[in-house]
């Protein structure tokens, strides 16, 4: 063996990264299960199960393909690599560019040789050129460029369907008593059971841990959910935990699926007339737009971007985030219970419930970010940092998004059925029955009035705030609500 090819747990694909030119006769493949990754923090066990079992299945598939594989457990990745170097007397270590600043720096210092990271559709230098030429980093502008550059949903130079964006069609509330097709269940095999036993965890059947399972999930989405994905994209309901979301992020993020094949499958279904343009465009925008944009921004922004706290939010993480029994707010109780069960909720609960609550309660962004990183199945540093710090809690002062995603109970009431089962009333902002979101939304605007008055995109909200005749009572109620949230009694 001449060289070591190091495969991080999010590069699990033989066709991309360092494996695409690997030679079974010359290359020793190394995967490291580091203690830092497994025990370093209070990780959700479903997440650990998914990541470790996927990596062990992948190692086995490489052995079946004729590679020599070392799957080692070690204190840290670097320590694991050093052990393998010494055992096999090989010094050269090759790796595709890692997905976090921290791992990049550690492997660079160790002396690894990098090859370009092709797990995304946008090379890092290309995004840097785009971002470097922008005054504000509007995702929509980047997305249109991606559509043209990648020639996706483009017809004779124009957007297919006559528009770049079908968002207006994609904001339906949930239908009443909505069932939808059954979820795909993934059977557990021997490797899964071994990992589950080591972790002392009973896994769900929600997440696949093999490429075959990930492909089955893609097929299930395309055949059973894709057509209705768009219109119900923003809806939330207690009747159905995923609605028509694809549940593909974990596999896109750990390498079992590549964005290229996911988009190809989507376009094939659209070209065959199986899905309407609003669903196809909406989904394509998530993959070639948002996902690529967020990854590009992670690398474009400095490593210390994650430490931003421009709104000076100092509240400690609320107990309701780590324990769903610590709140009476139905929307949050249901969302946190879902996370406890399967480490996933879709985009709108992440943004308009969890992040919105952290934002308007003035929760410390880094505490909230750490919690989000620990509990989501698909959480990686590159995707959580811009989504939380930039989009979710506006901690970067608007560097990424021009205005904060703050909302009161009216939005949640319109887009979900949560409020019907809640002891609070989304229409009320003062009094014991007032919805905490509604009270705290106005309190938040008032606390940051001086900042927001300078932002022309916030003028309507500030105008609304100025019209409130009951602001003094509202401020008192807000203090009660914040105290109750801290104690876990609201």
Ligand X SMILES: Cc1cc2nc3c(=O)[nH]c(=O)nc-3n(C[C@H](O)[C@H](O)[C@H](O)COP(=O)(O)OP(=O)(O)OC[C@H]3O[C@@H](n4cnc5c(N)ncnc54)[C@H](O)[C@@H]3O)c2cc1C
Which residues of this protein are in contact with ligand X, per CB under 6 A? 245-249, 252-253, 286-287, 290-291, 294, 346-347, 350-351, 355, 372, 376, 378-379, 383-384, 387-388, 391-392
Binding part of the chain for ligand SF4, among 224-232, 253-261, 395-403, 409-417 by CB under 6 A, reads: 409-417
CB of 349 to ligand SF4, least distance (A): 11
DSSP secondary structure, 414-442, as one string: HHBSGGGG-SSBTT--SSTTB-HHHHHHH
Q: Report the DSSP beta bridge partners of residue 95.
A: 114
Q: Are 303 and 263 in contact (CB under 8 A)?
A: no
Structure tokens at 408: 């009161």
418 lies in the site for ligand SF4, by CB under 6 A: yes
Helices 292-300 and 139-150 meet at what angle, rounded to 10? Answer: 120
Quick one: what does residue 249 bind among ligand SF4, ligand X, none, with the CB cut-off 5 to 8 Å set by partner type? ligand X
Distance CA 365, CA 348 (A): 18
Distance CA 128, CA 69 (A): 35
What's the residue count for the chain?
490
Quick one: what does residue 426 bind among ligand X, ligand SF4, none, with the CB cut-off 5 to 8 Å set by partner type? ligand SF4
474 lies in the site for ligand SF4, by CB under 6 A: no
CB of 420 to ligand SF4, least distance (A): 8
Residue of 301, 359, 381, 282 lying closest to 137 (CA atoms): 301
Quick one: what does residue 349 bind among ligand SF4, ligand X, none, with the CB cut-off 5 to 8 Å set by partner type? none
Q: With CB under 6 A as the rule, give the number of residues binding ligand SF4.
A: 14
Of 379 and 474, CB closest to ligand X: 379
DSSP secondary structure, 365-380, as one string: HHHHHHHHHHH-TT--
Distance CA 158, CA 140 (A): 16
Quick one: what does residue 37 bind among ligand X, ligand SF4, none, with the CB cut-off 5 to 8 Å set by partner type? none
Of 220 and 238, CB closest to ligand X: 220
CB of 88 to ligand X, least distance (A): 35
Of 250 and 426, CB closest to ligand X: 250
419 lies in the site for ligand SF4, by CB under 6 A: yes
CB of 221 to ligand X, least distance (A): 7
Other beta carbons within 10 angstroms of residue 399's beta carbon come to: 18
Q: Are 227 and 276 in contact (CB under 8 A)?
A: yes
Of 143 and 442, CB closest to ligand SF4: 442
CB of 168 to ligand X, least distance (A): 18
342, 454, 489 from 337: Cα distances, Å: 9, 39, 17
Quick one: what does residue 392 bind among ligand X, ligand SF4, none, with the CB cut-off 5 to 8 Å set by partner type? ligand X
Quick one: what does residue 331 bind among ligand X, ligand SF4, none, with the CB cut-off 5 to 8 Å set by partner type? ligand SF4
Residue with tokens 């609605």: 243
CB of 228 to ligand SF4, least distance (A): 24
CA torsion sign for 338, 340, 344, 348 is: positive
Contact characters 426-465, ligand SF4, x per CB under 6 A: x--------xxx----------------------------
Distance CA 166, CA 230 (A): 9
Of 276 and 436, CB closest to ligand SF4: 436
Dihedrals phi, psi of 406, to nearest 5 degrees: -100, 140
CB of 453 to ligand X, least distance (A): 26
Q: Are 142 and 130 in contact (CB under 8 A)?
A: yes
Quick one: what does residue 210 bind among ligand SF4, ligand X, none, with the CB cut-off 5 to 8 Å set by partner type? none
Residues contacting 241, CB < 8 A, separation 6+: 338, 342, 345
Other beta carbons within 10 angstroms of residue 83's beta carbon come to: 17
Pick the binder of ligand SF4 from 78, 96, 313, 422 (CB under 6 A). Answer: 422
Of 80 and 390, CB closest to ligand X: 390
Contact characters 279-318, ligand SF4, x per CB under 6 A: ----------------------------------------
Quick one: what does residue 248 bind among ligand SF4, ligand X, none, with the CB cut-off 5 to 8 Å set by partner type? ligand X
Q: How, if at all, do strands 158-159 and 154-155 pair?
A: antiparallel
Quote the distance between the C-alpha of residue 140 and its chain's center: 19
331 lies in the site for ligand SF4, by CB under 6 A: yes
Question: Beta-strand (E) ranges in 16-79?
Answer: 27-34, 68-74
Footprint of ligand SF4 on this chain (CB under 6 A)? 329-331, 409, 412-413, 418-419, 422, 424, 426, 435-437
């Amino acid at each position: 063996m001449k060289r070591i090819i190091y495969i991080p747990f999010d590069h699990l694909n033989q066709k991309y990264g360092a494996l695409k030119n690997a030679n079974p006769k010359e290359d020793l493949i190394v995967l490291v299960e580091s203690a830092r990754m497994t025990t370093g923090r209070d990780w959700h066990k479903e997440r650990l199960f998914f990541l470790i079992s996927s990596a062990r299945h992948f190692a086995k598939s490489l052995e079946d393909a004729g590679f020599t594989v070392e799957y080692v457990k070690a204190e840290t990745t670097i320590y694991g690599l050093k052990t393998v170097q010494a055992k096999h007397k090989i010094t050269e270590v090759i790796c595709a560019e890692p997905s976090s600043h921290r791992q990049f720096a550690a492997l660079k210092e160790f002396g690894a040789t990098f090859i370009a990271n092709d797990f995304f559709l946008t090379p890092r230098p290309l995004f840097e050129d785009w971002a470097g030429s922008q005054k504000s980093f509007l995702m929509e502008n980047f997305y249109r460029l991606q559509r043209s550059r990648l020639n996706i949903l483009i017809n004779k130079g124009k957007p297919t369907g006559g528009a770049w964006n079908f968002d207006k069609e994609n904001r339906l509330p949930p239908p009443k008593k909505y069932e939808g097709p059954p979820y795909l269940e993934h059977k557990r095999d021997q490797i899964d059971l071994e990992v589950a036993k080591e972790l002392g965890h009973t896994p769900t059947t929600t997440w696949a841990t093999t490429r075959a399972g990930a492909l089955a999930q893609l097929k299930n989405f395309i055949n059973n959910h894709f057509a209705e994905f768009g219109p119900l994209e923003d809806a939330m309901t207690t009747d159905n935990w995923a609605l028509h979301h694809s549940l593909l992020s974990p596999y896109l993020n750990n390498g079992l699926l590549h964005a290229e094949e996911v988009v190809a499958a989507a376009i094939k279904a659209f070209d065959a007339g199986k899905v309407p343009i609003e669903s196809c465009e909406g989904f394509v925008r998530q993959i070639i737009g948002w996902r690529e944009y967020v990854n590009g921004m992670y690398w474009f922004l400095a490593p210390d971007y994650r430490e931003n706290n421009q709104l000076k939010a100092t509240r400690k993480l609320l107990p309701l985030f780590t324990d769903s029994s610590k709140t009476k707010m139905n929307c949050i109780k249901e969302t946190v219970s879902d996370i406890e069960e399967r480490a996933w909720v879709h985009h709108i609960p992440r943004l308009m419930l969890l992040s919105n609550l952290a934002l308007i309660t003035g929760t410390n962004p880094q505490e909230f970010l750490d919690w989000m990183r620990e509990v989501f199945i698909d959480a990686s540093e590159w995707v959580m940092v811009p989504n939380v710090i930039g989009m979710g809690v506006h901690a970067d002062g608007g560097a990424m998004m021009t205005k904060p995603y703050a909302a009161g109970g009216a939005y949640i009431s319109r887009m979900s059925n949560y409020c019907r089962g809640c002891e609070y009333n989304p229409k009320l902002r003062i009094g014991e029955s007032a919805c905490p979101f509604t009270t705290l939304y106005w309190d938040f605007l008032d606390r940051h009035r001086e900042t927001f008055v300078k932002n022309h995109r916030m003028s309507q909200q500030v105008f609304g705030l100025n019209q409130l005749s009951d602001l003094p009572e509202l401020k008192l109620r807000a203090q009660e609500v914040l105290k109750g949230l801290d104690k876990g009694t609201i």
